[in-house]
Structure 1
């Protein structure tokens, strides 16, 4: 299994608001399939990051191109294979 850091740069802030629920539902589906290591938005409004787990970049490209944010033109995408050195242990959120 490989890791792929996928930057989703903001293209249209209003579309990001409009299609947020669809995007999050889509990510929840991919998470339930074991395809997502981590995800989140950038607080400066630049977009977001999803770290996918997959066998190939082609597999991630297929997943990303079905994301409602990408389909509806809210976000662009940049995919980079990520050579993870260590997995962080995060404290429980309260």
Structure 2
């Protein structure tokens, strides 16, 4: 399994506040499925980070792009493959 980091930069704070509960519910569903390694907001309130566990970039991209924050365009997505050096 490969890890992918999604940086979700807030672009529309008002809309982001409106969809926050749906965004959190979406991520919780993926946590329950074992598809998220870590997640959380940036302390400067500029957005957040999700580390997906996926078999391919395409799978991670599909999960990230189906996040309500991306679908509703309240956040901008940057997705990168990531390797942890901690074993």
Q: Classify the TM-score, shorter chain.
A: over 0.9
Aligned to 2:12: 12
**Based on CA coordinates, which of the two structures has the bigger radius of gyration?**
1
Aligned length: 87
Write the mapping of 1:2-81 to structure 2, written as runs, cut at 5 A. Answer: 2-81=2-81
Q: Which runs of 5+ in 1 are unaligned?
A: 88-94
Q: Which runs of 5+ in 2 are unaligned?
A: none
Higher helix share: 2
Q: Secondary structure at the match of 1:28?
A: helix
Q: Deviations over 1:54-83 (max 9, x none)?
A: 011100111111110000111110111111
TM-score, L = length of structure 2: 0.96
1: distance between equivalents of 2:12 and 2:35? 26
TM-score, L = length of structure 1: 0.89
Higher strand share: 2
Spell out structure 1 runs of 4+ moving beyond 6 A: none
2: distance between equivalents of 1:17 and 1:32? 23
